[in-house]
Amino acid sequence: MIIDVVMPKMGESITEGTILEWKKRVGDSIAMDEILLEIGTDKVDSEIPSSAEGVIVEILAKPNDVIEVGKVIAKIDSEKESSKSKDSFENIDESFSADLSKVEEKISINDSKTIINQKEKRFFSPVVMKIVAENQLPLSELEKITGTGRKGRVTKKDILFYINEKEKSEIVIPKKDFGNIDQKSQIGTSNQEEMSHMRQVISKHMVESLSTSAHVYVMTDVDMSRIVEFVKLNEVSFKDQESYNLTYTPFVVQAAVQALLGFPKMNASIDDTKIKYHRHINIGLAVSVDNGLMVPSLLHCEEKNFLGFCRSVNDIAKRARKGDINPDELSGSTFSITNFGVFGVTLGTPIINQPNVGILGVGAIKKRPVVVEDVDGDSIGIKNMMMLSLGFDHRLIDGAEGSNFITSVKRNLETMSLEFNF
Amino acid sequence: MGPKETQKILIQDLGFKKYKSALSLQEKLQKQRIAGNTPDTLLLVEHEPVYTLGKNANRNHLLQSRDKSVEVHNIERGGDVTFHGPGQLVGYPILDLTNYKKSVSWYMRTLEELTIRVLKEFDIEGNRIKGLTGVWVENKKIAAQGVRISRWVTMHGFSINVCPQLSYYDGIIPCGIFNYDVTSMEECLNKKISIKKVKNSISEIFLEMFTSRNKNG
């Protein structure tokens, strides 16, 4: 008789359990009360003893599977003692064997043990069972075969035909479970590893942001020629004075902060149906670090001058790479900037850093031929051009406002007063 | 053993004990309890600093930044990673739940009730958070629980932060819960608390609660 082992109910209001470990494998014999598996519920791990004696013919759930209470997780054949005796039955003709046996539906034993579910069982001859065993066919599949023998019994011919057909179809159709590890050979996974803690956090944040904000993008190009010229002229004296390099990031930060002062909505957050306007401008700066990304904030940017931006950008990037950022600095941003241009790319579409409503993507500065308009007429000139992209949350900001904001950043960069003393 | 004796609960104060030796004592007592050779027992103990990981714990919740001198044990109990150390009172009830109620949810909620009642004696208001196991004081976790059951006999149990050095928790994401901080009775009351008083209070309330709920009692 085949006995179903179901996920036991470990207490009131407990509706499911997690399989932790099977103590037995298919083909193993098990005694009454012997530990069959371990399950986890809430914060309790429990050993589950078997409620029947026999041989385990099927295991239907893997470790880490979360299974509803009452669902079948394994099958035990209570009549099968071991596979040794089958040879002696080999030559018995099928027609001599007994009829279908019917037994009562459900017997529930002690709730700590598994509930057994004895159901109608079809008869299979020893010859058929031998073929099934040799081909490692699960019993559930055997039960589905329509027999052509007396009273619908599965004959040797039926089973051989089924196995033959199954093999043929397996060559053509790949297995159904695409998530299964069996697919490994086709994808060619060479190894697998657990994501680092940081990777998991990034992964979670990105998906959450995409499902929270209605992301839209506008882009524009900026003539950076004046700033490039300025950096060339001043980088040596700057380094002498500050002992780190003058980069383009502080220029972009300053231009964005100026623009934000005129667009308070871009420096806000959405809280349900409320718009929260932030008093301070805290710029989250995406910094790539070993194996990941951090977005520490430059706090109170509205109070800083250009040199202040240079110093805080340098300080925070350096500390982020050293892993020396405190948790307070990782939160509290009101708008974010990511400069992927340092990796040479022209344009990108960054994901909003929640709970911000905007993120500015900065591309690489590249020399390009552009049309220069002059009083003498149009001509083609070589200019240092940079693409800016603005990702914003359409729930709060419409295209016109987003476009005006990015144009404001562009104008601030192109007309920035470059009278700094280094 | 007659029915009278089964209601007896033995409380043993182990004082300071290494995690490993307390674990083997629990395992021994659980086996004896299953065999019916020992009464229900509550062990009370403090440990040297140690991080323990349950069977389905995520190793990433043990952070690289942790104090590497603290021992790490992989153990067979429910739950994720946690910390034990001086100033934290740990209780290991070895109970045969067939004498009470065969329900792990009943047992976990009863342990929470125990902690809440102990905290109340010290004027601290502990709460449950729906969907999570343990006891919180204003969104900060003060007591943790993790249990293993074999043939309805329990081991492992609960821990209450009386006055541990809370910085040890910075080395882990306790129980895999990101959003909640950890606190202690000392931090809540802003004054020194005697572990002994907490032990007495736990013993008293534990006896009262479990004796009255014993089916044979």
For the stretch A222-252, pLDDT in tens is 999 999 999 999 999 999 999 999 999 999 9
pLDDT category, B178, cuts 50, 70, 90? low
Residue A339 tokens, joined: 């400069």
Integer angstrom CA distances of residue A130 from A2, A26, A90, A162:
17, 16, 8, 14
The answer to whether B163 is a known catalytic residue is: no
Q: Compute the nearest-CA separation of B80 from chain A (Å).
A: 8
The pLDDT > 90 percentage for chain A reads: 45
**Higher per-residue pLDDT: A378 or A132:** A378
User: What per-residue confidence (pLDDT) applies to A142?
Assistant: 74
B105 touches chain A (CB under 8 A): yes
Cβ atoms of B127 and B115 within 8 Å: the answer is no
Residues in B touching A115 (Cβ below 8 Å): none
- Best residue of A21, A35, A42 to probe chain B, by most B CBs closer than 10 Å: A42
User: What per-residue confidence (pLDDT) applies to A101?
Assistant: 33
Res. A103: pLDDT tops 60: no
Cite the beta strand spans of B9-152 per DSSP E.
9-16, 40-46, 50-53, 71-74, 81-84, 88-94, 135-137, 140-150
Res. A362: pLDDT tops 60: yes
CATH of domain A198-414: 3.30.559.10
Cβ atoms of B136 and B180 within 8 Å: the answer is yes
Res. B149: pLDDT tops 90: yes
Are B56 and A21 an interchain contact pair (Cβ–Cβ within 8 Å)?
Answer: no
Average pLDDT, chain A: 81
Are B56 and A64 an interchain contact pair (Cβ–Cβ within 8 Å)?
Answer: yes
Q: Which of A64-68, A137-141, A278-282, B16-20 has the lowest mean pLDDT?
A: A137-141
Q: Tens digit of pLDDT for each residue in A152-206? A: 777 777 878 877 777 666 554 444 444 444 555 566 767 778 887 778 888 888 9
Q: Which of A77-91, A296-310, B105-119, B197-211 has the lowest mean pLDDT?
A: A77-91
Any idea where the domains of chain A sit in the sequence? 2-187, 198-414
Q: What is the mean pLDDT of residues A282-298?
A: 87
Domains A2-187 and A198-414 fall in the same CATH topology: no
User: What per-residue confidence (pLDDT) applies to B63?
Assistant: 75
Local structure of residue B62 (DSSP, 8 states): B
Q: What is the number of CB-based contacts under 8 A between chain A and chain B?
A: 84
**For the packed helices A306-322 and A225-242, what is the interaxial angle rounded to 10 degrees?**
70
User: What per-residue confidence (pLDDT) applies to A121?
Assistant: 54
Q: How far is CA B5 from the centre of its chain?
A: 25
Cβ atoms of A114 and A51 within 8 Å: the answer is yes
The alpha-helical segments, DSSP class H, found in A281-419 are 306-322, 327-330, 399-414
User: What per-residue confidence (pLDDT) applies to B136?
Assistant: 93
Any idea where the domains of chain B sit in the sequence? 3-212
List residues bridging with B195 in a β-sheet. Answer: none
Measured distance CA(A318)–CA(A65) in Å, rounded: 44
Residue A140 tokens, joined: 């559930």
User: What per-residue confidence (pLDDT) applies to B66?
Assistant: 75
Rg (CA), chain A: 35
A44 touches chain B (CB under 8 A): yes
Identify the CATH assignment for A2-187 out of 1.10.10.1200, 2.40.50.100, 3.30.70.1560, 3.30.428.10.
Answer: 2.40.50.100
User: What per-residue confidence (pLDDT) applies to A169?
Assistant: 60
Catalytic residue chosen out of the listed positions B142, B143, B175, B202 = B175
**Complex prediction ipTM:** 0.77
pLDDT category, A100, cuts 50, 70, 90? very low
A328 touches chain B (CB under 8 A): no
Q: For residue A255, report the phi and psi dihedrals to the nearest 5 degrees.
A: -65, -40
DSSP code string of A236-305: HHHHHHHSS---SHHHHHHHHHHHHHH-GGGGEEEETTEEEE-SS--EEE-EEETTEEE--EE--GGG--
Q: What is the mean pLDDT of residues A50-72?
A: 89
Measured distance CA(A266)–CA(A250) in Å, rounded: 19
Helix (H, G, I), strand (E, B) or coil at A208: helix
Q: Compute the nearest-CA separation of A273 from chain B (Å).
A: 24
pLDDT category, B7, cuts 50, 70, 90? low
Are A44 and B106 an interchain contact pair (Cβ–Cβ within 8 Å)?
Answer: no
Residues in A touching B101 (Cβ below 8 Å): 11
Q: Is B29 left (phi over 0), alpha (psi -120 to 50) or beta?
A: alpha
User: What per-residue confidence (pLDDT) applies to A110?
Assistant: 36
The pLDDT > 70 percentage for chain B reads: 93
Res. A370: pLDDT tops 90: yes
The answer to whether A215 is a known catalytic residue is: no
Res. A357: pLDDT tops 80: yes
For A64, name the nearest residue in chain B, comparing CA atoms only.
B56
Q: Which of A81-95, A207-221, B13-27, B86-100 has the lowest mean pLDDT?
A: A81-95
CATH superfamily, region B3-212: Bira Bifunctional Protein; Domain 2 (3.30.930.10)
For A34, name the nearest residue in chain B, comparing CA atoms only.
B151
Residues in B touching A35 (Cβ below 8 Å): 150
The pLDDT > 70 percentage for chain A reads: 83
Q: What is the mean pLDDT of residues B150-154?
A: 94
Residues in A touching B152 (Cβ below 8 Å): 112
Per-residue burial over B48-86, b if 16 or more Cβ lie within 10 Å, else e, is ebbbbbbbbbeebbbeeebeeebeeeebbbbbbbbbbbe
